[in-house]
Structure 1
Amino acid sequence: MTDTETLSPPTAATRPRLTLKLCEPRGFCAGVDRAIQIVVLALKKYGAPVYVRHEIVHNRYVVDGLRDMGAVFVKDLDEVPDDGQPVVFSAHGVPKSVPARAEARDMFYLDATCPLVSKVHKQGLRHVKLGRHVLLIGHAGHPEVVGTLGQLPPGTVTLIETEEDVAAFEPADPSALGFITQTTLSVDDTAGVVTALARKFPELHAPASESICYATTNRQDAVKAASEKTDLFIVVGAPNSSNSRRLVEVAKRFGAKDAILVESEHDIPWETVTDGATIALSAGASAPDILVDGIIARARADYEVSLEIVQTAEENELFPVMRAIRDVPLTPADMAFVNGAA
């Protein structure tokens, strides 16, 4: 090569080929959209700071974006000064003790708990009201589980994680049991535990309505449909996102040769994606679409991409925010952020 020669960018003829299967639905669900919107609207109406107890949703991009707007994330209400500014509770829900403490300090708070999580809380309370001991199927330590356990009176609920927990559980009255489920687990995730419970306790009462979040089911169904004959399945989501981790597990179980959880295109081992490979792409319910767009853009820059849409459902759910902030106008830029597009 002479000093004046330069390397030409790859052309369609020289770039490796890549089939990219894009899952729909993916990304933000209505509960996440509502929670983010509540923080943005509160900042617009009341100004910064707006305090947020724990991560509003499990995604670093979203949390960092809200922090840049003036949100202050705290682990506990003790970190919030008595300055009259609003406090937002995360989409995962909180124990009853949290709003009680806020009210005791005369705090102004906005509860961004997902309505589907609130429905599970009501189902648990209904079991208790009917004299049943509640069995909560979920993962210990998850914020939603912590919040749900804290909604029910002490001694009225037991966490069940595995079929082994079912075998070890001996209730005072086997005829007075009811179960509820962490929303971010799918029907497949809970099937074994529910079957074991029903077999051991024939009089077990199911929830009055389905506990599983529609978004969890829809995203897992799309991943199932896209997994077969896929070399690498990429799920965009945070490491602490339960529903995102489940998507990785589903992809492996339904035929993907490999599946990984990434936070952005920078986490993808592109050097392993060879000519003619097939990758699939989805995102957890708290991951914004701008991160998915970044992965698609990177793929198109380096590969000759054949894009396939794998759609298994349409989502049109909308959860309105509370009246106190419903009248606040949002700019197009605000809406783009709320919808995960910026």
Structure 2
Amino acid sequence: MTAERKPSITLKLASPRGFCAGVDRAIQIVELALAKYGAPVYVRHEIVHNRFVVESLEAKGAVFVDELAEVPEGRPVVFSAHGVPKSVPDEAERRRMFYLDATCPLVSKVHREAERLHEIGRRIVLIGHAGHPEVVGTMGQLPEGAVMLVERVEDVARLDLDSAAPLAYITQTTLSVDETADIVAALKVRFPAIEGPRKEDICYATTNRQAAVKSFAGEVDAILVIGAPNSSNSLRLVEVAERAGCKRAFLVQRASGIDWAALEGARAVGLTAGASAPEVLVDEVIAAFRDRFDVRLEMLETVREDIRFKLPRALEA
């Protein structure tokens, strides 16, 4: 008796995908701090938006807290990759805490840009998602009221601003490139003199991962994005896939979350991972497909990434 033959399927694997340099640096900071100072090392908020990563670090001795008040005296604390309001390091300094800042350098760049614009007298419009830690951190670099948040094109018409006022816009680093371009266009129509950032705020990793998804969105029956439901860049990848013509685009945290019924009839599936999702979860999903299908794997590389960010001096030795 012969085993039943598995149906064939093609998995198109996006490259680049998964960890970006900022996420890799943030995780290294926690791991190196544990190695140098011993457990526990405290981390304010999720270091990156991925439960697998957070739980892996917890198993090594990291303790995640919401506020600095939860950190015992004498223990190191790490600030997450998303960045924090200025009030957080100010509080740490007042309490003479030893802290390591894992803010992505590209988020820090947006912070510096916001400060520069404020210093030269610009009112600032921030394109981003309300409540996201990066947005909270960016708005917290300046006095209350200095930054106005815009989430969608329709919000531009509701801005209570003089069109002749000196204005500038900045953006969250993990937005949809296309959707953000639409919002910027609307801002420029309403406020022709509005100033933009010197260099694009949406980070290279977000841009590259979205471009990779677009490259195969029209060639597959479905797309799976591995990432967390609170991960902005992962959610944007799903939206980008849908806008690029793939009607079956799904966010999954790991293989156990795949809705196989929703993939019924699919012969080609695109696979990518958000910037905070580790490669081990990609391997896990591929293995799950191989359990059910005769898999043909295609790697589709759109650009090669080789960016690395320096670690804090305290951890370099």
TM-score scaled by length of structure 2: 0.97
Q: What's the CA shift string for 1:81-135, capped at 9, x where partnerless? A: 11x1110000000000000011111100000000000000011111111111111
2:219 maps to a residue whose letter is K
Structure 2 counterpart of 1:213, from 203, 211, 214: 203
1:17 and 1:275 in contact (8 A); partners too: no
Q: Is 2:134 aligned against 1:136? A: no
Counting only pairs closer than 5 Å after superposition, residues 17-32 of structure 1 correspond to structure 2 as 17-32=8-23
Q: What's the CA shift string for 1:224-279, capped at 9, x where partnerless? A: 11111322210000000011001011111112230110011111122454466111
1:94, 1:100 → 2: CA distance? 11
1:248 maps to a residue whose letter is V
Q: What's the CA shift string for 1:152-175, capped at 9, x where partnerless? A: 122211111122221111225733
1:325, 1:289 → 2: CA distance? 25
Aligned to 1:60: 51
Aligned to 1:36: 27
Relative distance call for 1:292 and 1:248 in structure 2 (3 A) is same
Aligned to 2:63: 72
* Secondary structure of 1:301 counterpart: helix
* Secondary structure of 1:191 counterpart: helix
1:244, 1:276 → 2: CA distance? 22
Q: Is 2:146 aligned against 1:156? A: yes
Aligned to 1:308: 298
Root-mean-square deviation (CA, aligned residues, Å) is 1.4
Structure 1 counterpart of 2:176, from 168, 183, 186: 186
Aligned to 2:110: 120
Gapped runs of 5+ residues in structure 2?
Answer: none
2:124 and 2:170 in contact (8 A); partners too: yes
2:57 maps to a residue whose letter is L
Relative distance call for 1:9 and 1:54 in structure 2 (3 A) is farther
Q: What's the CA shift string for 1:47-104, capped at 9, x where partnerless? A: 001000000000000000000000000001111111x111000000000000001111
What percentage of residue pairs aligned between the two structures are identical?
59
* Secondary structure of 2:58 counterpart: helix
1:107 maps to a residue whose letter is M
1:288 maps to a residue whose letter is P
1:169, 1:73 → 2: CA distance? 37
1:228 and 1:256 in contact (8 A); partners too: yes
Q: What's the CA shift string for 1:301-337, capped at 9, x where partnerless? A: 221111111211110000011110112xxxxxxxxxx
* Secondary structure of 2:53 counterpart: helix
* Secondary structure of 2:269 counterpart: strand
1:35 and 1:114 in contact (8 A); partners too: yes
1:197 maps to a residue whose letter is L
2:292, 2:153 → 1: CA distance? 46
Specify the structure having the higher radius of gyration (Cα).
1
1:52 and 1:90 in contact (8 A); partners too: yes
Aligned to 1:270: 260
Aligned to 2:284: 294
1:94 maps to a residue whose letter is V
1:30 and 1:319 in contact (8 A); partners too: yes
* Secondary structure of 2:215 counterpart: helix
1:276, 1:172 → 2: CA distance? 52
2:187, 2:265 → 1: CA distance? 48
Q: What's the CA shift string for 1:196-223, capped at 9, x where partnerless? A: 1111111101112211100000000000
2:120, 2:266 → 1: CA distance? 59
* Secondary structure of 1:85 counterpart: coil
Kindly state the Cα deviation for residue 9 of structure 1 after the two structures are TM-superposed: 4.7
| Structure 1 stretches of at least 4 aligned residues deviating more than 6 Å after TM superposition | none
Gapped runs of 5+ residues in structure 1?
Answer: 1-6, 328-342
**Worse overlay, 69-78 or 246-255:** 246-255
1:15 and 1:303 in contact (8 A); partners too: yes
* Secondary structure of 2:277 counterpart: coil
Aligned pair count reads: 317
1:276, 1:106 → 2: CA distance? 57
2:89, 2:159 → 1: CA distance? 32
